[in-house]
Structure 1
Amino acid sequence: MSFVETHGLWTDDQHTAHAALLERLKESDVQVVRFSFPDQHGLLRGKTLVVDEAIRAFRNGVTLTSTLLAKDTSHRTVFPVFTAGGGFDMPEMQGACDTLMVADPETFRVLPWAPHTGWVLCDVYFANGRPVPFATRHLFRRALEQLGNHGYEFMSGLEVEFHVFKVTNPNMKPEHSGQPGIPPDVELLSHGYQYLTELRYDAVDGVMEMLRRGIDGLALPVRSLEVEYGPSQFEFTFAPTTGIQSADDMILFRSAVKQICQRNGYHATFMCRPRIPNVVSSGWHLHQSLVHVAGGTNAFMPTDPGAPLSVTGQRYLAGLLAHAQGATALSTPTINGYRRYRPYSNAPDRAIWGCDNRGVMLRVLGGANDPATRVENRVGEPTANPYLYFGSQVLSGLDGLRRKLELPPSADTPYETQADALPRTLSDAIAALRADDCLREGFGSAFVDYFCKLKEAEIDRFNLEVTEWEHREYFETF
């Protein structure tokens, strides 16, 4: 029996999709298949197999070194993998041993920019068939199962901001390499600050069309393409989907944008605030609601015309507020992302909610008789791992439902309302995550400690650097 069959890893729908996929591969001109998994940072890693090997690997998995799960954002291995337990206190993780990527056949696509290349998203398992507890797609799926046990399904839609620049020098000389290496030199595609003007959109239409064609070929549910406020800043919005799909779509969207741009002389970045003069920070707004499994109706839509949300929606929203500090490490996982939290900036700086107010953290949209009633969380940065960001929302909201939390008053003046501040730094956010019992229980203590250690490795490296500000401030004065 195959690895998939031995351990019962696929649903009936996945088995059906696999059978159809085999027929499709026999008839197509696909020559290689990329097997990819979303790592702890939401980056795609994996291997490329020639098509005949790929067909055999769908049921038996693709080996992958466990050290990929031990790396920070510089791709340095943070954990002592050659010690007992591999630094994880787990025999399965020691010695840089193999794990197995198992494809999810329902995610298969042919990449429009690489027409002979198939792509499939994978889940990661140990050789004994146990899910790797640090694989974030597993963690989000587990949170969705808990939600399903309460009779709800998660619905989410995306608004994603990012920057695209023209590469003037890729900086590929040997001295530019490193861990990390020197990023490319770039120039702007637009000056910015002409928010949503048609003239500015037309100036970048060629790049927008290049991206649209590639994304459209992946069948992602794009709704709009927009010129954002800042120089060379774009925004794509996506139609709402249920379950894990929106998170899968975000993983593929980010990678697709970067690959398409890279092939055509551009550099796309989802970094929150690049070090570019007059830059505007990029955010990632997550629209979310719950749907009744029985009937498919919106569980947030109120029946009382005077209520912003149903009782279910209010308790869910109260849960998001109660765990806002701990969840911030998962929605804003980089040092750079905290430069966005500023008052009077269309970005939140405290844990508050309001009705159709862009200054709050949690913006309630819709109302009585509106099946699109939802909560928009405006806290995230576009680098976030979507499985962790979304998972933190589901676990926090579920806690509000279980404990029947009361929703505090709305904030009509978001930067003047007294409320708990969001963490000001990644260090503060990590401390809040460590102390959050709900998120620790939901994700597992082992994962929370693991994630915090990875982030602390980044912080430690940052603290060893001498910044330009320090040099300018002190070098001459003292």
Structure 2
Amino acid sequence: MSSFVDRFDLWSPAQAEAAEALIRRIDAEGLELVRFAYPDQHGVLRGKTLVAAAARDALREGVNMTTTLLAKDTSHKTVFPVFSSGGGFDFEGMQGGADFTMVADPETFRVLPWAHKTGWVLCDAYMADGRPSPLSSRQILRRAIGQLDEFGLDFVAGLEVEFHVFRLDDPRMALGDSGQPGTPPSVSLLSHGHQYLTEQRYDDVDGVMELLRHHIQGLGLPLRSLEIEFGPSQFELTFGPTIGLAPADAMVLLRSAVKQICRRHGYHATFMCRPKIPNVMSSGWHLHQSLRSKRDGHNVFVPTQAGDDLSATGRHYLAGLLAHASGSAVLASPTINGYRRYRPFSLAPDRALWARDNRGAMLRVLGGVGQAATRIENRIGEPAANPYLYLASQLFSGLDGLRRQLEPGPSADTPYDTAAPALPRTLGDALDALRSDDYLCEQLGPRFVSYLCHIKEAELARFNLEVSEWEHREYFEMF
């Protein structure tokens, strides 16, 4: 009987060849375990670990997982009535916690440098009948990338990711600390902050930086720089440009790797945008993007006339990003906490505009005539974003600009003083903006938008039920 992969023709010839190479590598390197992981709706990796003998068969047969994993919010609570008729979904296969199947993408295989004789492979989610899961964010990005074929273009992106690393003082594993979510760990600083990019501060944390560098390069990720950011215990890593799905795949692996490596060595890493730490600085995820010709590989954003910031293609793409800036905001900043970043003159953009090499703008244009690295940097994202949805939102928006040949208007040299549409300031506002963007809803799929909004509204409802420290401090004595 044919395998799941063969029955539904799920691999390209290149993937089939990579699967054979993967099996040879398991044998040659004596690997004992393989982690099969898929990026869920939040961009968090979930999966199962198989012994090597079972992993060989699972490459083509897939690995079964419960569909309740597709129904969870960020507390890991199931927020759909999965045991009711239909399971709370409008398509078959989700009722009663039935299985879906993870199918490995063999071209993503890595050996984890920090785990004993352990391989890792990224997977896609398929329903039992071989259909791609309509809730799979990796499939949405793949669809967005496919639309570039009509223009003969590839998507190119580089990552610039801020995050925090603290010393782990107490993991808070007492019996009373369990829950959904459990009590967060107690931590202390590795640096006082506010000595941005000083060599002395870098040397103070060289041990942690070397730990991260060694393992990240061991994964084959295109690491370019390691930096001390402005805030206490805040770091930044930048990565060279990659093509298609690769930037999103790199981001989910990077986040998981950094957290695992740090935890094993007595640190706590977090990609939460703004932790509740005194004098903290918010973390962003700045996405550098461009398009290149499939025919000859040249960057089609590069202008040909002196004085131009972008080519006509680049301008149209830029205008599409602006046209859908509010609608795509929830895909770039999907957490309640992400909107704590928007403060006056904070280097976080507060309105939909662009500027030439200006860090106050949402879209910062870099490069120019004769510069192969001409690109658009979107500064709206938070590092907790699902990378597949963030990148897909950029592609769908830019494609709309290309098709309609939109123009972005002039550069905003004073971005915090220039009149422009305000970006959403709360998660609720961002959800409303997405629902109001008919084009993005169509491209993402109305079913997926409804699903995503349901999960995010469940998180908002839990948040609104809790009494905050601010409320207690403000009202407890006064009234």
TM-score bracket relative to the smaller structure: over 0.9
The separation in 2 between residues aligned to 1:151 and 1:437, in whole angstroms, is 26
**1:351 partner SS:** coil
Question: Aligned-pair distance for 1:296?
Answer: 0.9
Distance across 2 between alignment mates of 1:56 and 1:310: 49
For 2:35, give the aligned amino acid: R
Counterpart position of 2:34 = 33
Counterpart in the other structure of 1:405: 406
> Aligned residue for 1:174?
175
Equivalent residue, structure 2, for 1:334: 335
- Greater alpha carbon shift after TM alignment, 91-100 vs 22-31: 22-31
- The reply to whether residue 390 of structure 1 matches residue 391 of structure 2 is yes
Q: Distance between the aligned counterparts of 1:231 and 1:114, measured in 2?
A: 29
Q: Which amino acid aligns with 1:76?
A: K
Match of 2:235 in 1: 234
Give, in whole Å, the separation in 1 of the partners of 2:378 and 2:23: 40
Q: Which residue of 2 aligns with 1:83?
A: 84
Displacement of 1:29: 1.8
2:353 paired with 1:368: no
Match of 2:47 in 1: 46
> Residue type of the partner of 1:143?
A
Which aligned segments of 4 or more residues in structure 1 are displaced greater than 2 angstroms?
Answer: none
- How far apart in 1 are the matches of 2:28 and 2:245? 29
Conserved 8 A contact 1:356-1:364: yes
CA positional deviation for 1:327: 0.4
* Residues 157 and 238 in structure 1, CA contact (< 8 A), matched pair in contact too: yes
CA deviations 1:412-450 (Å, max 9, x no partner) are: 001000000000100000000111111111110000010
Residue 141 of structure 2 is matched in structure 1 by 140
Matched residue type, 1:53? A
Aligned residues: 478
1:240 corresponds to which letter in structure 2? P
Which whole-Å CA distance do the structure 2 matches of 1:304 and 1:452 have between them?
A: 44
Measured in 2, the distance between the counterparts of 1:410 and 1:342 equals 22
The structural deviation recorded for 1:89 is: 1.5
Return the alpha-carbon distance in structure 2 between the equivalents of residues 435 and 294 of structure 1: 37
Hey, what does 1:62 align to over in structure 2? Answer: 63
Extract unaligned runs of 5+ from structure 1. none
Counterparts of 1:241 and 1:109 in 2: how far apart (Å)?
Answer: 17
* Contact 1:365–1:374 (8 Å) recurs in 2: yes
Find the residue that maps to 2:200 and give its secondary structure. helix
Distance in 2, Cα, partners of 1:325 & 1:89: 27
| Counterpart residue type for residue 51 of structure 2 | V
Q: CA deviation at 1:21?
A: 1.1
Separation in structure 2 between the aligned mates of residue 407 and residue 262 of structure 1, nearest angstrom: 45
- 1:184 alignment counterpart: 185
Question: Matches of 1:471 and 1:194 in 2, distance apart?
Answer: 34
Q: Distance in 1 between matches of 2:164 and 2:348?
A: 17
Describe the superposition over 1:282-338 as per-residue Cα deviations: whole angstroms up to 9, x where unpaired. 000000001111111111111111111001100000000000001000000000001
**Correspondences of 1:51-450 after superposition (within 5 Å):** 51-450=52-451
Q: TM-score, normalised by structure 1?
A: 0.99
Tell me the distance in 2 between the aligned counterparts of 1:243 and 1:91. Answer: 30
Q: Could you list the per-position Cα deviations for residues 11-32 of structure 1 after superposition, in whole angstroms to 9, with x for gaps in the alignment?
A: 1110111111111112222111
- Counterpart-to-counterpart distance in 2, 1:261 and 1:172: 17
> CA–CA distance in 1 between the matches of 2:212 and 2:293?
35
**Aligned equivalents of 1:214, 1:25: Cα separation in 2:** 19
Letter in 1 for 2:156: M
> Which residue in the other structure is 1:453 paired with?
454
Tell me, yes or no, if the aligned pair for 1:168 and 1:187 is still in contact at 8 Å. yes
Provide the C-alpha distance between the structure 2 equivalents of 1:291 and 1:436, rounded to a whole number of angstroms.
Answer: 27
Q: How far is the alpha carbon of 1:150 from its aligned partner?
A: 2.1
TM-score, normalized by length of structure 2? 0.99
Tell me the percent identity. 66
Distance 1:140 1:195 in 2: 35
**Alpha-carbon distance in 1 for matches of 2:411, 2:3:** 55
Partner amino acid for 2:428? Answer: S
Deviation at 1:124, TM superposition (A): 0.6
Residue aligning to 2:466:
465
Cα-to-partner distance string for 1:108-129 (whole Å, 9 max, x where unaligned): 1111110311110000101111
Native 8 Å contact 1:340 1:347 kept in 2: yes
AA at the equivalent of 2:271: F
Rounded to whole Å, the distance in 2 between the matches of 1:43 and 1:207 is 23
Give the stretch that moved more between structures: 460-469 or 26-35.
Answer: 26-35
Gaps of 5+ in 2: none
Amino acid at match of 1:43: V
Cα distance in structure 2, aligned partners of 1:208 and 1:111: 18
| 1:353-402, Cα deviation, whole Å (9 max, x unpaired) | 00000000000000111111000000000000000000000000000111
Task: Name the SS of the counterpart of 1:325 in structure 2.
Answer: coil
Output one character per residue of 1:75-105: Cα deviation in whole Å (capped at 9) or x when no partner.
0001111112211122211111000000011
Task: Tell me how far apart the structure 2 counterparts of residues 61 and 416 of structure 1 sit (CA, whole Å).
Answer: 54
Question: Take 2:194 and 2:458, find their aligned partners in 1: how far apart are those partners?
Answer: 36
Q: Partner of 1:118: helix, strand, or coil?
A: strand
Counterpart CA distance in 2 for 1:431 and 1:418 is 22
Q: What letter matches 1:198 in structure 2?
A: E
8 A Cα contact 1:84 1:91, kept in partner:
no
